[in-house]
Amino acid sequence: MSLPIRAGHIGKLECTSLLSIAGAANVFLSYPQQLVKYGSQASWMIPLFSTVIMLLIVFILRIVQPVLKNEDLLSISHRAAGKLITAVISSLAIVYFLLITSDELRQVSETVLTTMLTRSPISFVAIPLVMLICYFAHSGLEAISRTSWLVAPVLAILLVLLLIGMYNWVNVDYLQPWMGPGWSPLFIRGLLFTSAFPNVLVLIICAGSMRDQSHIAFAGLWSTVIIGVVYVVVELVCLTVFPAQLSVHLSFPVYQLARIINVGRFMERMDAIYIFLWVACAVTKMAVGLWASSYLTARMFGMPVYRPLIFSTAIVIYAIAFIPRSYPETLIWDATIFQRYGIVFTVGLPLLVLFFVLLKRGGKRREKKMHRTT
């Protein structure tokens, strides 16, 4: 593991916007439907449990934050755990980002084809998306984060307007029975749903690029809260507009919400506007995944720059995206692999890195005590 590669500097607001958009992007795809399958009328509680679990990890990150001095957590874990273990952690993170980026690419492409370009080949959508994320990833983390900071207010306003536009359709009775399948299944599913919170793992990787590293916990805290609030509120609105028995059969519940907006005679089919909202969020998440994969690969092999790897990594992502033979098979992969075992990467890897950082912190304290006694 070489020294950190220069990737620009980002502020706390830019970082928070980047992490929030990357984490909440899947709310516009099939995730609300997947939540209803496991939580029924109480599916909105699942991301609530996930948020609490991720906040505990952010609390641990807050504890180790004073150790960071213009370094990222991977560099510190390298000194504490050694080159081999840190290389294994980096390899697992690379595989994770490659898989979730390819899954996002396939799902977004299929969504655009299903909703708008019904007669176009899928490559007509996927190839421009790959070219776009290559451009953002090549521009660097600083460019991605600042773009996220600029578009985040627009995305938030459009999402709020979408949810407010459902007030005529809301029926709170659809939420009964309130606890759905019960506390235990909801908590277990909430534990697994932490796979939808990649923000802490991304934060660990880009911690060295923070302009003021005392703001690392700030970005982790608020991005986790924002992601959790988006999932909970969107799921609540979906359940109160479409009963659980109907929501479970909707591939894109948020898109269906946008389709029923009708404001007067000249304000129909507002879903076309929200397609750009979903694509913007998805492009941000895919750009982060492509950047992280290239960056970690360059770090692991001691390369001074990561940009030469972007195009080849994008080709790998494009190839993996089309391994599933159809969109239903893509959803099966997502539900049985990414949502079930993603916790190993989004929770397990950050905890492992933070554990090694804590060991390093304890070693420094012992050295200071021995120095004082001598």
On the 0-12 / 13-18 / 19+ scale of CB atoms within 10 A, 31 is buried
Q: Are 129 and 345 in contact (CB under 8 A)?
A: no
38 phi and psi angles, rounded to 5 deg = -100, -25
Round to whole Å and give the CA distance between 252 and 274.
Answer: 12
CA contacts within 13 A on the Cβ side of 204 = 31
pLDDT at 69 over 70: no
pLDDT at 259 over 80: no
What pLDDT is recorded for position 130? 93
* pLDDT tens profile 324-343: 888 888 888 888 888 888 88
Q: Which amino acid is at 193?
A: F
Opening angle at CA 317, ends 316 and 321, nearest 5: 120
* pLDDT tens profile 297-312: 988 888 888 899 999 9
Cα dihedral: 345, 348, 352, 353 (round 10): 40
Ordered by where they begin, the domains of the chain are 12-361 (1.20.1740.10)
* pLDDT tens profile 184-236: 888 888 898 898 899 999 988 887 777 777 788 888 899 999 999 999 999 88
Q: Are 372 and 223 in contact (CB under 8 A)?
A: no
Output the six-digit token pair for 30. 């099939």
Collapsed DSSP state (helix, strand, coil) of residue 234: helix
What's the mean pLDDT in 8-18?
85
On the 0-12 / 13-18 / 19+ scale of CB atoms within 10 A, 355 is middle
What pLDDT is recorded for position 331? 84
Chain centroid to Cα 159, Å, comes to 17
Helix and strand tally (H, E) in the chain? 18, 0
Residues whose CB is less than 8 angstroms from the CB of residue 136 and which lie 6 or more positions away in sequence, other chains included: 143, 144, 147, 283, 284, 287, 290, 291
pLDDT at 294 over 90: yes
What pLDDT is recorded for position 73? 65
| 323 against 359, higher pLDDT | 323
What's the mean pLDDT in 131-137?
92
E strand or H helix at 209? none
pLDDT at 371 over 60: no
Q: Are 318 and 129 in contact (CB under 8 A)?
A: no
| 361 against 273, higher pLDDT | 273
Task: Quote the crossing angle between the two packed helices 310-321 and 123-139, to the nearest 10°.
Answer: 150
| 132 against 272, higher pLDDT | 132
Round to whole Å and give the CA distance between 255 and 157.
Answer: 16
What pLDDT is recorded for position 264? 61
Buried b / exposed e over 207-241, threshold 16 CB at 10 Å, is bbbbeebebbbbbbbbbbbbbbebbbbbbbbbbbb
Q: Are 207 and 292 in contact (CB under 8 A)?
A: no
Round to whole Å and give the CA distance between 180 and 172.
Answer: 14
CA–CA distance from 74 to each of 41, 133, 351 (Å)?
Answer: 41, 25, 12
Nearest to 241 by CA among 44, 74, 91: 44
Round to whole Å and give the CA distance between 269 and 260.
Answer: 8
- Mean pLDDT over the full length of the chain: 82
